[in-house]
């Protein structure tokens, strides 16, 4: 499965894209501003963890702090 995210200002064009997606049997989901922000943060965290800048212990500590506040 592949996923794309499109963002634009035109509600008319958004409706057109959603209509086309439906006709092509794609599933769609509109994201709230909070969901977009959370997705961006998740991507940034994943990229940071994969960068090799942190040791395994530092990664585990960071992830633990995220989970438990």
pLDDT (tens digit, 9 = 90+) per residue, 7-19? 889 999 999 999 9
**Domain tally, the chain:** 1
| 6 is a domain residue | no
Residue span of the structural domain in which 53 resides? 11-68
CA distances from 9 to 6, 12, 13, 15, 27 (A): 10, 9, 8, 11, 21
pLDDT (tens digit, 9 = 90+) per residue, 14-66? 999 999 999 999 999 989 999 999 998 888 888 888 888 888 888 888 888 88
Torsion-angle region of residue 62: left (phi > 0), alpha (psi -120 to 50) or beta? alpha
| 4 is a domain residue | no
CA distances from 35 to 3, 6, 41, 60 (A): 15, 14, 10, 25
| 25 is a domain residue | yes
């Amino acid at each position: 499965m592949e996923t794309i995210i499109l963002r634009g200002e035109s509600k008319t064009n958004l409706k057109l894209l959603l209509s086309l997606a439906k006709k092509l049997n794609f599933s769609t989901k509109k994201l709230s501003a909070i969901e977009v922000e959370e997705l961006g943060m998740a991507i940034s965290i994943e990229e940071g963890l994969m960068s090799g800048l942190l040791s395994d212990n530092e990664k585990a500590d960071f992830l633990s702090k995220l989970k438990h506040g």
